[in-house]
Amino acid sequence: MSQPKPEILAKAKTWLTDVFDEETKKEINNLIENNPKELEDSFYKNAEFGTGGMRGVMGVGTNRINKYTLGKNTQGLSNFLKREFSGASLKVAIAYDCRNNSKELAQVVANVFSANDIEVFLFSDLRPTPELSFAVKDLDCHCGIVLTASHNPPEYNGYKVYWQDGGQLVPPQDKALVEEINGLAYEAINFDANTDLIHKIDKDVDEKFIDESVKNGSFDTSAEAKANLGIVFTSLHGTSITMVPPVLEKAGFTNVTIVEEQREPDGNFPTVKSPNPEEPEALKMALDIAEEKGADIVIGTDPDCDRLGIAVRNSDNKLELLNGNQTMIVMTWFLLEQWKKADKMDGNEFIASTIVSTPMLKNLSEAYGVEYKEVLTGFKWIAKLIKDHPELDFIGGGEESFGYMVGDFVRDKDAVTSTLLACEISAFLKAQGSSFYKKLLELYTTYGLYKEELISLVKKGIEGEQEIKQMLIDLREKPWETIDGEKVVLVEDYQSSIAKNQNDHTETQITIPKSNVLIYYTEDGTKIAARPSGTEPKIKFYFSVNTSLESVSDFEDKNKELKEKISRIKAELQLG
């Protein structure tokens, strides 16, 4: 067996002092003696904040999620809050999902805040992430924390920080907070709870959140249309079971079947390989039930209920899982139509999406005379737009990774209200003799047929991290000149904040914040983006191709052409 590297061993031994509990020290000694590779992965770096906060594998070490890394985060955040809001009586809200250890880790976080004389509002049981965003504003808190790892595998957990407006932490506060945390020693963590400052919250916040979800996600669809819509819903063992059924019920949807085998919250996700509604396999149980019952729509949410996957009846009456871009297009169209019908548009509205999502959304916004704003990946940037533009009304927005936000009563992607909206749209269209899918095809004929695909290449550990870095270096130093025979006309480098026109070799400044993202555009509108994941050991490639669609009857042929085009591109670039 190989020996641990000296620098790793030295770092690990700092966790063998009396600052750490006996169980932690025992596990570290076990890794030193028996598993040097795992020891290396646990200590070779500090776990970092990414697009969705800090997320990682649970276990001992600086590169793991445990009571000490989260305790250090919380101590640093406590210090930071006291500086930012000097003299204020500080308040924070804390929620957690179904993950293993989430409840215990949430209590650790609450203890550290209270030990620092900060009042804590802790949900008494698991709740959806969007409800935490709502609670921060509703309870007038200075910040909020959610313990979650979204749709990651069971061994993961995480820590997301929200600010006063209910949105996740963004610059400049995020950088200053990270500096504060990195400057702390583990000895500085105060775990000595003041229980008088910890208050449990549940029904009062729940009822307000349900009311606001129904208010924002409901329109003038008739009770008859709602009753006529067959819905199958699965929480995939996650938190949505606490909020989605009561929201649907209050909104008047009665024909709802819940997948009972997946109802119980369980961090091991026993009935699925991955609790990710982006993957058809995760919704198989729900799809089977929906076929048996002849249901119109299937909806599944991820463990913390901020993402949703939707399957609807296609042209052959078969249930088909839509991707996040497709769902976002129909949802945004519907909201724009409703605002227009209600005569609420005066030119001061906007919709928003991300730089790796479908360009079709911009076409849609222009047609309705609504401003379109584009941001980096992550809903914290969409929330920041709302905060930065109080003169504009936010209608809705989404991203390709199955997230959507309706209005601004929460400031994060919200699968509770979005589930209601999807059902509202489906019921409304069914009553008109149409459907969610038919409307999508009609929108393609009006605004262009866009097809998107995502490839995620997993690169774990130190070697994987280096490989991802090298791939992006290569793309910068040797940029693609053609893609599928189409000339590359623009390369956007969000790390250097420079967009290079490949025709006249001019450069323009990118005004949104820096990020390690490259986007290529061809003369025919093909778009390929490359970015490392902010929360997982992956590099992601996003493909978008498009063509015109004269008639819905041409969809199958045109869609097949675009699919083949993406396949050619992946083969050419050796990415698939």
Contacts of 574 (CB under 8 A, 6+ apart): none
Give the chain's radius of gyration (CA, Å). 24
DSSP calls for 466-520: HHHHHHHHHHHHS--SEETTEEEEEEEETTTTEEEETTT--EEE--SPP-S-EEE
Q: Is 264 helix (H, G, I), strand (E, B) or coil?
A: coil
Q: Is residue 386 within 8 Å of residue 354, measured between CB atoms? A: no
Given CA atoms 58, 61, 64, 70 in this order, what sign does their dihedral have?
A: positive
Beta bridge partners of 256: 231
Element (H or E) spanning 200, and its range?
strand 198-201
Closest CA to 360 of 563, 527, 529: 527
How far apart (Å, rounded) are the C-alpha atoms in residues 425 and 102? 35
In 105-190, at which residue ranges do the beta strands (DSSP E only) sit? 119-123, 143-147, 156-163
The single-letter DSSP state of residue 553 is G
Q: Is residue 560 within 8 Å of residue 483, measured between CB atoms? A: no
Q: How wide is the angle at C-alpha 380 spanned by C-alphas 379 and 386, nearest 5°?
A: 95
Task: Please give the single-letter amino acid code of residue 354.
Answer: T
How far apart (Å, rounded) are the C-alpha atoms in residues 207 and 194? 28
Helix 67-84 vs helix 102-115: crossing angle, to nearest 10: 40
How far apart (Å, rounded) are the C-alpha atoms in residues 106 and 266? 16
Instruction: Compute CA distances 154 → 238, 274, 282, 541, whole Å.
Output: 12, 8, 14, 25
Q: How wide is the angle at C-alpha 408 spanned by C-alphas 403 and 410, nearest 5°?
A: 65
150 carries an active-site annotation = yes
Choosing from 150, 353, 435, 533, which is the catalytic residue? 150
How far apart (Å, rounded) are the C-alpha atoms in residues 39 and 29? 10
> Catalytic residue positions?
150
